[in-house]
Structures are given as C-alpha cells and as structure tokens.
Amino acid sequence: MFQYSKTLLAALAAATTLAGNASADNLTGDLKIFLDTSNPAPRATMEAMIARFQAKNPEMNIETTVIDREAYKTQIRNFLTANAPDVATWYAANRMTPYVNAGLFEDVSDLWAEPEIAENLASTKGAMTIDGKQWGVPYTYYQWGVYYRADIYKELGLSEPANFDEMVSNCEAVIASGRKCYTIGTKWLWTASGWFDYLNMRTHGFDFHMQLARGEIAWTDDRVRETFANWQRLVDLGAFVDDHQNKDWQQSLPFLVSGDAAAILKGNFAVAPLREAGLTDDQLDFHQFPAITPGIELAEDAPTDTFHIPTNAQNKDNARAFLRFVVSAEEQTEINNGKNLGQLPVNAKSSVDDDKFLQKGFEMLSTNSPGGVAQFFDRDYPAEMAKAAMEGMQEFMVFPDNLDDILERLEAVRQDSK
C-alpha cells in the first residue's frame, strides 16, 4: 500500500536556512517523487533534501510518496507503466536494465554531458550506462575492501599488500601465527560472491567481469577457471574460518573482534558493528584489494542507489532540475554525512565526514579506481544466474575439487537463459 508523505513545513523552514546562500531556481509546476527509502533515517534524509529543493523553488508543487522497500520492488513496473511519477529511486547497473530495455526509464545522457556532472561523477558513469547512454543519476554509494586488524599486522611485521602474491604471503604468516587470514559467513550466499567479484576483476578486469555478467562468456571459459585458481590459492592455504557455510556475515564478525582472524572482505556497513563490538580505529584499518594481473586497472564494488526519470513522467524539466540538485556537491555532502546516510558522496567535489573509513573509501573511489565501479555480484548478474552462481561459489569454498561440476552447472544456466 502506498504511504503518502507531504513535505513537512518544519523541514521546509529548516531547509530554508541551508539553502539561503544559494540562488533560488524559482521553478513552477508539479513534481511527483516516489521513494523506496522507507527506513526512518533514509526517509528523513530524503524528505529533508526534498524540502531544501522546495525552498529553492517555493512555487513548485511537490508530492512525495514513500513505499516500503520490498513492496517497491514488486510495484515498480506497474507504476512506471501507468501513473508514473516524475522521479523514482532504484539501483544502478543490471538492476536498471529491465526497465531500460522495456522503455520505462528516460535517457538522461544530456545531463551527463553537462560539465558539472561529467567532471565530478565520472567514477559512477559506467554504472549508469547501458548501450552508451545514461539512464539516471546516483545519489549514494559505499566502498568494499579489506578491513584488517592493524595491531595483528604490526605484531607480525606485515604491511598492506601491494599485489596478490604479497596478500598470499601475508596470509601464510597469519596462519603460521595460529590465526585465520579471513573471516567470512557464507550462509547468506552473497558474501562469497564478493570474493569472486574482486578476484575476477583483478584477474581479468572490469570489462571481462561485465561481459560474464551479460552472459557473453561461458562459465567454462579458461579465464573463469583462472579466477577460481587464484581463489583456490587461498582456499588451499586454509585462509578462511571453518564452518563458514553455517554462519551469516554478522556471525563472522566476532572472529575479527577476538583476533582469531586478521581481516574481512566486506562493505563499509561492517564498520559500525565492529566498532560497537569494541574494536577501535587504531586496531581496525582498511586497504584496497590489491592487483593480481599486471596492467589490469583496478575496479571496485560500490553498490549505488539511484534516481531515474520514468519515460511516462509528466514533468521532465522539473525532474531534470531535481536530479541536478541531488548530485550537486553541496547536497551530496549533506545527505551522505554521518548524521544522515553515513555513506559516500558521488560528487568528487563533495566533502566527506571526518571518519577514517569514509575518507579512505572516498579517496579510493574518486581517484584510485580507474577500472570502473561494479555494483556487486547479485546486482550485476541476472537473478537466476546470480542465485546459481552464488550457490556454486559457496560449494567451491567448501569443496574446491567440485569446480568442474560447478562450472558445468553454471554454464547450463547461462545457456538456458539465452
């Protein structure tokens, strides 16, 4: 059921102060916005942002509709087809493909040709591009990478690895000390696929990874086997905690807190529970997943939330003005700060909270990931393929000798989906 929320007068009054130094756009007419940000903090953040846009355009009639996130996923195709809003939230890359292919999202390449967007949102352009055109704008993302116990590395005389061989060498030293290299919980299958994302992108690059996602490369291809061979180097060492297939990702965190494991490959969402469990920022640190194949540009997983203009929208000029506002450096700084979404701004000119991990993630994604930004395995790959592959990846981590059978099964799924 739809839950309607008009912009609150109190939020509008507060927003007027924030917008006071900016020249008003003074646009008129209507703007209808649908949001899937139904949880309290994201909802408040979005409503306050809309209030600031309203303050710049006081004559505009803005109607905001907030829909429960899970309900939104089932309703989006219906409302894009009939009674479409002017702006709608969604996700980048493969998750937007069905709606692009169905002609339900507007081509907004004109926005991406504007210097302010072209120059400052370059790291996310690939995630918004299908068939050489852009179909929306991002409003937030967050980094993945290796979070590690700096105190354990210091104790063992280890440095952040510059390449995969050094990563393996570090792992050997950690195992020799009686610890596991990496904690992981693969009961929720997506955790294993994060390892595949990085190993595949570091072995063959972003373009190969996305070709595989689009079903253009066989899972039995020797290059895919090479990715799994790199993974098996770690599996054969005993790098991962035992019984991980019966643990979810939260249940894997205590191994890092106790020091029984030295690191975890995870998104930045893991930092808060690790801090709550008692790890200090002196104990916990972060590094980019290192290079594997020389000459392959480094790409990153950075799941990205987005705004789109439906093709059937009635007020597209106002919608474009709103998208420009959303991605501006000032707004990106505001909505992504620790009091709001607590994630990373997509605009390279934005400021980032004085948080160690947000700062490192912003630097990495803004300047140190020339190879592109992926959305994470189950967002980049079609649903049926993602499910089968993630099941296979969990199986591989427990029974690596099953690889041939796993890849044959995945190839059968790929063939069936053609």
Domains identified in the chain, total number: 2
Q: pLDDT over 70 for what percent of the chain?
A: 94
Q: Are residues 312 and 214 in the same domain?
A: no
Q: Within this chain, do residues 78 and 182 fall inside the same structural domain, yes or no?
A: no
Residues facing residue 5 across a β-bridge: none
Rounded Cα distance, 406 and 418, in Å: 19
196: closest CA among 407, 340, 408, 413?
407
Quick one: 117 and 176 in the same domain?
no
The torsion angles phi and psi of 75, rounded to 5 degrees, stand at: -100, -15
**Can you tell me the distance from the alpha carbon of 42 to that of 65, in angstroms, rounded to the nearest whole number?**
14
Asked if 296 and 205 count as a contact pair (C-beta separation under 8 A), the reply is yes
Q: How confident is the model at residue 418 (pLDDT cuts 50, 70, 90)?
A: confident
> What SS3 class is residue 72?
helix
Question: Do 387 and 367 sit in the same domain of this protein?
Answer: no
**Does 178 share its domain with 105?**
no
Same domain, 182 and 108: no
Q: Which long-range contacts (CB under 8 A, 24 or more apart) does 365-368 make?
A: 365/123, 365/141, 365/143, 365/300, 365/302, 366/123, 368/288, 368/298
pTM of the model: 0.82
pLDDT of residue 70: 84
For 406, other C-beta atoms within 10 Å of its C-beta total: 21
* One domain for residues 8 and 116: yes
CA distances from 52 to 20, 23, 372 (A): 10, 12, 32
pLDDT at 4 over 60: no
Residue 393's pLDDT band (cuts 50, 70, 90): very high
160 and 261 part of one domain:
yes
Cα(344)–Cα(54) distance, integer angstroms: 24
Quote the CA–CA distance of 418 and 411 in Å, as a whole number.
11
Contact 86, 315 (CB under 8 A): yes
Residues spanned by the domain of 319: 3-142+303-373
In angstroms, the CA 344 to CA 42 distance is: 14
Biggest alpha carbon distance in the chain? 68
Half-sphere exposure of 147 (CA within 13 A, CB side): 32
Please state which of the ranges 16-20, 152-156, 240-244, 336-340 shows the lowest mean pLDDT.
16-20
Q: Are 299 and 374 in contact (CB under 8 A)?
A: yes
Q: How confident is the model at residue 10 (pLDDT cuts 50, 70, 90)?
A: very low
pLDDT at 16 over 50: no
Same-domain check for residues 311 and 295: no
Beta carbons of 324 and 316 less than 8 angstroms apart: no
Name which of 57-66, 91-100, 407-416 the model is least confident about: 91-100
Shared-domain flag, residues 288 and 341 = no
Mean pLDDT, rounded, for 180-191: 96
Distance in angstroms (rounded) separating the CA atoms of residues 27 and 11: 19
Query: How far is the C-alpha of 161 from the C-alpha of 231, rounded, in Å?
Result: 16
| pLDDT tens readout for residues 285-343 | 999 999 999 999 999 999 999 999 999 999 999 999 999 999 999 999 999 998 889 89
Tokens in use for 154? 């210091």
For residue 343, what are the contacts with CB-CB under 8 A and spacing of at least 6?
Answer: 140, 141, 142, 268, 336, 358
Do 47 and 187 fall within a single domain?
Answer: no
**Predicted pLDDT of residue 173:** 98
Query: From CA 288, how far away is CA 363, in angstroms rounded?
Result: 11
CATH of the domain at 345: 3.40.190.10
CA dist., res. 277 & res. 253, Å (int): 9
Tokens encoding 239: 């790098």
The answer on 360 and 233 residing in a single domain is no
Classify residue 329 as left (phi > 0), alpha (psi -120 to 50) or beta: alpha
Residue type, 294: P
Name 275's Cβ contacts closer than 8 Å, sequence gap at least 6: 281, 284
> Going edge to edge, which strands form the sheet with 144-149?
180-182, 261-267, 144-149, 284-287
Q: How far is CA 349 from CA 26, 303, 327, 398, in A?
A: 25, 20, 10, 44
Question: Alpha-carbon distance 31 to 324, whole Å?
Answer: 14
Overall size of the chain counted in residues: 418
